[in-house]
Structure formats: structure tokens, C-alpha cells
């Protein structure tokens, strides 16, 4: 066991208020199946089922974008349709520091 913790094992602290960081997922409605796997998986409650359009099945929406944990990407592999995308992490690392 090494003496230095990796960033994944350290706690994250935001350097600016969360509302100033545009880190949140986007959903491509043309790919979304409305399966709700992302809503079930995401504990902070970022996702919700949108309103159905006519006879079409409802798609997922980003209901609470600022509940998304900055630099978290765990929802991407949960979406079997590949409908979820997130910004490039390199553009947001300056907003986070890792602490013990």
C-alpha cells in the first residue's frame, strides 16, 4: 500500500460555487430509449423522465443539472443507448482540488 492517495480516492472540493461550473450531462433525445437506467443509477438525482410526445415514449431529461458531481462520468456506461455525453474533463479540472 503506497503512502500517496490517488485523486480517485481523495475527497473532491470545489474551488468555486457549484452553480458557476457548467459540468452536467446532455442527453441525445434521438438515441434515448427512456429506459430510466440513468435515473435509477444516479444517486444525486440529475435525471428524470420527461413528458411523452404524442404517442412516442417519454425520453430522459436533465432535471437537476447542478446536482451532478463535477468530474463524475459514471452515468455514461450505464446508458446502453449511448445517449449521455459529458463535457471534456480537461476543461474542468481547474475547478476541483483533491484533499485527504
Q: How many domains does the chain have?
A: 1
Say what the pTM is: 0.84
pLDDT on residue 1: 42
* Inside any domain, residue 72: yes
Domain of residue 60, residue span? 10-90
* Inside any domain, residue 50: yes
* Inside any domain, residue 29: yes
According to DSSP, the residues that pair with 27 across neighbouring strands are 84
pLDDT on residue 7: 58
Cβ 58 vs Cβ 34: under 8 Å: yes
Task: Write the CATH number for 31.
Answer: 3.30.70.20
pLDDT on residue 83: 98
Evaluated on CA atoms 41, 84, 88, 16, the torsion sign reads negative
DSSP 8-state symbol, 75: T
CA dihedral 39, 27, 88, 24 (to 10 degrees): -50
Divide the 100 residues of the chain into consecutive groups of 10 and give the mean pLDDT of each group: 56 94 96 96 97 86 97 96 97 94
Amino acid at each position: 500500500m503506497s503512502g500517496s492517495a490517488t485523486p480517485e480516492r481523495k475527497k473532491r472540493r470545489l474551488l468555486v460555487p457549484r452553480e458557476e461550473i457548467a459540468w452536467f450531462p446532455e442527453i441525445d433525445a434521438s438515441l434515448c430509449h427512456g429506459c430510466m437506467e440513468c435515473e435509477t443509477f444516479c444517486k444525486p438525482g440529475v435525471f428524470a423522465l420527461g413528458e411523452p410526445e404524442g404517442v412516442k415514449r417519454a425520453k430522459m431529461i436533465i432535471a437537476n443539472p447542478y446536482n451532478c458531481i463535477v468530474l463524475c462520468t459514471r452515468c455514461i456506461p450505464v446508458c446502453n443507448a449511448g445517449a449521455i455525453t459529458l463535457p471534456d474533463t480537461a476543461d474542468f479540472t481547474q475547478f476541483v482540488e483533491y484533499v485527504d
